Amino acid sequence: MAALFTCVVCALVGAAVASLLACIPGLHIYNVLALTALAFQAWSGGGWLAGEAFTALTVAMTVGYAMLNTVPSVFLAAPDESALFTVLPGQKYLMAGRGREAVLITAAGGAVGLFAICLVLAPLGPRLLPVIWTVLRPHAHWVLWCVIAFMLMSEWPRRVAIGVPGWRRFLAAWRNLGVGLLTFLLSGLLGFLLLYRSPIPPEFAFQNLLPAFAGLFTLPWLLLNLAARATPLPQRADRGVPLDVPTLLHGGLAGVLGGGFAAFIPVITGGVGGFLAGHATAIRNDRMFLVSQGAAKVVYYVAGLLLFFVPGLHTARGGAAAMLMTFGVPQDRAAWFLALAAAALAGAVACALVSPLTSLTIAAVARFGCRRLSWASLALILAVVLTATGGRGLAVAVVAAGIGLLPVLFGSRRMNCLGVILLPMACNLSGFGPAVARALGLL
């Protein structure tokens, strides 16, 4: 009974702490979990890491982060111009003084995602998923190549040089397309390097990709905030969210499909899943898009982690599951129900914290300004990378930041940076990853 009580406390505290940390721009939950694991390793010698309480803590922190990480991306992001039309309608809301509304709509989508996990995944997962995975596994490689092809081919020329004929027009149109392809290729090469000849010291190897992700996605965002001298925009104080049921259901379904696809198919991330589902289910308006992104994000992170505990399946998707796998946490039926309970409890805490933490962030941005918060976040991220992966990890993060800045500054999709995992893993799943690594001189 005492053990169960410890698990409940861990779930509640983990959800509250992760919800708060999710409001810090650029701080990813996998980085926090890595540092937590290192701290517990130092404290208990690793024994506590294989226990049920750590399972509850990990699941709860993942839920809290997935529900609340929209807050900094809405109030402190500096998007590129293509984002205005494609992936971040939250920015449009922010500019119209409706940032709070965007966060609440996205959180409503997240709640739909949690209900889908508790009401659909929980009863059906153990029966269906092992069978589906057995059928799908031999096909994962070509599914991945199709996703990559769709991702690259769905880019379009942002800058149309009207009235300019010939090569100049052609080059202007290909500018952002070319940068997109270059970004995918460079990040793919970085991925091969990290996978086959990582400069990260062995004792930090479980966080091999942390500096690359921090560099590709977090640092460019913060650097652009600093360079663009973004000033805070006044926000409305409205508390209500005009959200009708059809929008919630349509957006929620699209998000659950996208997030579920991303959680189940190896290497696909929540953003890519949401992007595919948005195309597949014809999402047109911003409200629906925000709901779908919220649902996709929660399903991707939480269901992806829960797949590790699904009886008969036990696949590790995402950084948290990979970490739990190495610590040897229990994977029996009790652990499956414990993980579900932790997810539900943490979901309740996170839902309750969305509104107050949004107000807190709005107040913090008003008090300190985007630039100061971005400087503080930059220092924090660099400290996390240094602590978790050492000086070499910092070097990797700096190089990755160079690659991550390309799409932001040249007007391409940031999603192309996912080449860091998509390219090497697609090659590996297809069986020719080592051959490519050998051709690159890495073996």
Partner 1 sequence: MQEGPEQRPPTAAMCPSCERFIGPARACPYCGADAPDRPGLRFLRWASLLLASLGLAFLYLTATRRAAPLIRIADITPFMNHAEVRVTGTVTRAPYVSRRKGGVDYVSFVVEDGAGTLRVTAQGALARSLVERNLLPAAGAEVEVTGSLSPAANGPARLRLCAAEQLVVRTRAGAARPASR
Task: Tell me which residue of 94, 104, 102, 101 sits closest to 365, measured CA to CA.
Answer: 94
Q: Which of 25-33, 112-120, 131-139, 200-208 is the region at the interface with partner 1 (rule: CB under 8 A)?
A: 200-208
Q: Spell out the residues 6+ positions from residue 76 whose beta carbon is closer than 8 angstroms to its own.
A: 25, 225, 361, 365, 370, 373, 374, 377
Applying CB under 8 A, does 417 fall inside the site for partner 1? no
Q: Which candidate, 133, 78, 115, places its Cα nearest to that of 307?
A: 133
41 binds partner 1 (CB under 8 A): yes
Total of residues contacting partner 1 (CB under 8 A): 78
Q: What's the CA gap between 114 and 107, in Å, rounded? A: 10
Does residue 414 bind partner 1 (CB under 8 A)? no
Alpha-carbon distance 29 to 60, whole Å? 11
C-alpha 405/C-alpha 326 separation (Å) is 33
Q: Does 439 bind partner 1 (CB under 8 A)?
A: no
- Give whichever of 152 and 230 is closer to partner 1, judged by the CB atom: 230
Stretch of residues binding partner 1 (CB under 8 A), selected from 143-151, 260-268, 281-289, 432-440: 432-440
The only residue of 19, 70, 73, 235 in contact with partner 1, by rule CB under 8 A = 235
Q: How far is the CB of 45 from partner 1 (least distance, A)?
A: 10
When the beta carbons of 111 and 324 are compared against partner 1, the nearer one is 324
Of the candidates 13, 20, 97, 376, which one interacts with partner 1 according to CB under 8 A? 97
60-79: contacts with partner 1 (CB under 8 A): 75, 78-79
Q: Is 229 left (phi over 0), alpha (psi -120 to 50) or beta?
A: left
Residues 98-157 within binding reach of partner 1 (CB under 8 A): none
Please pick, from the candidates 124, 205, 334, 383, the single residue that binds partner 1 as defined by CB under 8 A.
205
User: In the complex, what is the shortest distance from the CB of residue 417 to partner 1, in angstroms, rounded to a whole number?
Assistant: 11
The site string for partner 1 over 297-316 (x = CB under 8 A, - otherwise) reads: --------------------
**Position 231 contacts partner 1 (CB under 8 A):** yes
CA distances from residue 6 to 10, 13, 40, 43, 403 in whole angstroms, order as listed: 6, 10, 15, 17, 43
SS3 of 47-99:
CHHHCHHHHHHHHHHHHHHHHHCHHHHHHCCCCCHHHHCCCCHHHHHHHCCCH
- Closest CB to partner 1 among residues 206, 261: 206
* CA pseudo-torsion sign 42, 46, 47, 53: positive
- Using the minimum distance from each CB to partner 1, give the nearer residue, 220 or 278: 220
For residue 398, how far is the Cα from the chain centroid? Answer: 20
- Restricted to residues 372-411, the positions that interact with partner 1 (CB under 8 A) are 395-396, 398-399, 401-406, 408-411
Stretch that binds partner 1, among 37-45, 246-254, 257-265, 334-342 (CB under 8 A): 37-45
Q: Which stretch binds partner 1 (CB under 8 A): 52-60, 124-132, 148-156, 361-369?
A: 361-369
Interface of this chain with partner 1, residues 246 to 285, rule: CB under 8 A: none
What is the CB neighbour count within 10 angstroms for residue 138?
Answer: 9
Q: Which is nearer to partner 1, 235 or 292 (CB)?
A: 235
365 binds partner 1 per the rule CB under 8 A = yes
- By CB under 8 A, what part of segment 174-193 binds partner 1? 186, 189-190, 193
Select the span of 21-29, 64-72, 294-302, 322-330 touching partner 1 (CB under 8 A).
Answer: 322-330
Q: Does 93 bind partner 1 (CB under 8 A)?
A: no
Residues 325 to 354 in contact with partner 1, rule: CB under 8 A: 326-328
Question: How many of the other CB atoms lie within 10 Å of CB of 165?
Answer: 8
Q: Which structure tokens are listed for 41?
A: 């390793």
Q: Which long-range contacts (CB under 8 A, 24 or more apart) does 310-313 make?
A: 310/125, 310/126, 310/129, 310/130, 310/336, 311/126, 311/336, 312/126, 312/129, 312/130, 313/125, 313/126, 313/129, 313/130, 313/133
Is residue 54 involved in binding partner 1 (CB under 8 A)? no
